[in-house]
Amino acid sequence: MNTPKNNQENIITGLITKSIAGSYFVEAGDAVFICKARGVFKNRNTIPVAGDFVEFDKDKKVITAILPRKNELIRPNVSNVDNLVIVSSFEKPAPSTLFIDKLCVIAISKKIRPIVVFNKCDLGDFSQYIDVYQKAGIDVVEISAKNDFNCDKLLEYFDSQITVLCGNSGVGKSSIINRLFGDLSLKTAEISQKLGHGKHTTRTTELFKHDKGYIVDTPGFSSLLISENIKIKPEELADCFPEFEDYLGCCSFSDCAHTGEKGCAIIKAVNNGIIANSRYESYKQIYADIKSADRW
């Protein structure tokens, strides 16, 4: 991954990989610097987060500037994300298309590539789900982390980028990480003790480095509220469904919301089996959620 350059004396650039109680772990080249942030960031209501490229004083160990972000997720709080890997399994829990579709909307709205991964294919047939997302123009990978089936195909998406892995508990995220990269689990307790923060430091977003880039695991990501991570207007939602693109602007009315109006080209495509019904039902639910949030 290329890091922005800076020629000022003692000021170099690096990537924040983790923060613990106001201490930021900044990777620059082969070194990691534990830095503090200038108070000016809090005054501006902006604080550094994992994934930020920053300028910092390598001698004073102080972050002096946050470089422009291309995107940011609120939970987990991470910036400059390239891929969002959305993991579902065959059972316990079974795939929820609404959950997957909400995460796809978040990704696309922030110009993050969504990759839908169906794990534990040794337990059943995912073909009906795979068909839905392939037709939608969303990348799909069917794997079995247990049996190492297709894991090499998934690995292609992790090349030299920041990838966030998300999904409900029990879908096998940890198994996927360990299968692809070995044990990336870092013991934050040791670092916490070094910094004097004790063993029970609150869990924080962390970038785990591997030979191709960085990965972020997201425990509890299933509790994500769409309003936390996207700030779009209801009329912008259709742009987050790639399969709608060919039909936008083709409705009888220019202000069509695509939620039941007469002459809606998208509804016609759904009725003709071109757009999956589950995707359309998700669109209507998410549209209602965004519209309801706008009222408040």
- Residue 176 placed within a domain: yes
Strand ranges (DSSP E) for the chain?
11-20, 23-28, 31-37, 53-57, 62-66, 72-73, 78-79, 83-89, 113-119, 139-142, 162-166, 208-210, 213-217
* φ, ψ of residue 67 in degrees (nearest 5): -75, 155
- Say how far residue 141 (Cα) sits from the centre of its chain: 16
% of the chain with per-residue pLDDT over 90: 51
Q: Supply the pLDDT for residue 197.
A: 44
Q: Based on the fold, state whether residues 161 and 192 are members of the same structural domain.
A: yes
What does the alpha-carbon distance between residue 222 and residue 111 come to, in Å, rounded to a whole number? 21
| Higher-scoring residue by pLDDT: 272, 151 | 272
Q: Where does a domain end: 41, 68, 95?
A: 68
As a whole number of Å, the end-to-end CA separation of the chain is 41
Q: Based on the fold, state whether residues 256 and 218 are members of the same structural domain.
A: no
Report the pLDDT averaged over residues 228-243. Answer: 90
Q: Based on the fold, state whether residues 57 and 101 are members of the same structural domain.
A: no
**Comparing C-alpha atoms, which of 140, 102, 104 is closest to residue 121?**
140
Q: Based on the fold, state whether residues 211 and 143 are members of the same structural domain.
A: yes
Domain that holds residue 211: 73-223
* Residue 294: pLDDT band with limits 50, 70, 90: low
| Higher-scoring residue by pLDDT: 200, 166 | 166
- Residue 2 placed within a domain: no
pLDDT in tens, 51-78: 999 999 999 999 999 999 999 998 788 9
Report the mean per-residue pLDDT for the chain: 84
Block residue for tokens 């549209």: 287
Q: Based on the fold, state whether residues 99 and 218 are members of the same structural domain.
A: yes
Q: Supply the pLDDT for residue 159.
A: 81
pLDDT in tens, 172-189: 787 888 888 876 654 433
- Residue 285 placed within a domain: yes
Report the pLDDT averaged over residues 83-101. Answer: 85
* Residue 212: pLDDT band with limits 50, 70, 90: confident
Q: Based on the fold, state whether residues 199 and 126 are members of the same structural domain.
A: yes
pLDDT for 101 beyond 60: yes
- Residue 274 placed within a domain: yes
Query: Using only C-alpha atoms, what is the Rg of the chain?
Result: 21
pLDDT in tens, 113-131: 999 999 988 877 889 999 9
- CATH for 265: 1.10.40.50
Helix (H/G/I), strand (E/B), else coil: 193: helix
- Residue 94 placed within a domain: yes
Q: Supply the pLDDT for residue 211.
A: 82
pLDDT for 195 beyond 70: no
Q: Supply the pLDDT for residue 5.
A: 52
- Residue 1 placed within a domain: no
Helix (H/G/I), strand (E/B), else coil: 20: strand
* Residue 32: pLDDT band with limits 50, 70, 90: very high
Count of structural domains within the chain:
3
pLDDT in tens, 35-56: 999 876 766 778 899 999 999 9
Q: Based on the fold, state whether residues 163 and 277 are members of the same structural domain.
A: no
Report the pLDDT averaged over residues 260-287. Answer: 96
- Say how far residue 108 (Cα) sits from the centre of its chain: 10
pLDDT for 190 beyond 50: no
Evaluate whether 163 touches 157 at the Cβ level (below 8 Å): yes
Q: Based on the fold, state whether residues 157 and 242 are members of the same structural domain.
A: no
- Residue 3 placed within a domain: no
Q: Supply the pLDDT for residue 157.
A: 86
Strand ranges (DSSP E) for 100-234?
113-119, 139-142, 162-166, 208-210, 213-217
pLDDT for 200 beyond 50: no
Block residue for tokens 């609150």: 202
What does the alpha-carbon distance between residue 50 and residue 60 come to, in Å, rounded to a whole number? 20
- Residue 180 placed within a domain: yes
DSSP 137: T
Evaluate whether 156 touches 180 at the Cβ level (below 8 Å): no
Q: Supply the pLDDT for residue 185.
A: 54
Q: Based on the fold, state whether residues 181 and 247 are members of the same structural domain.
A: no
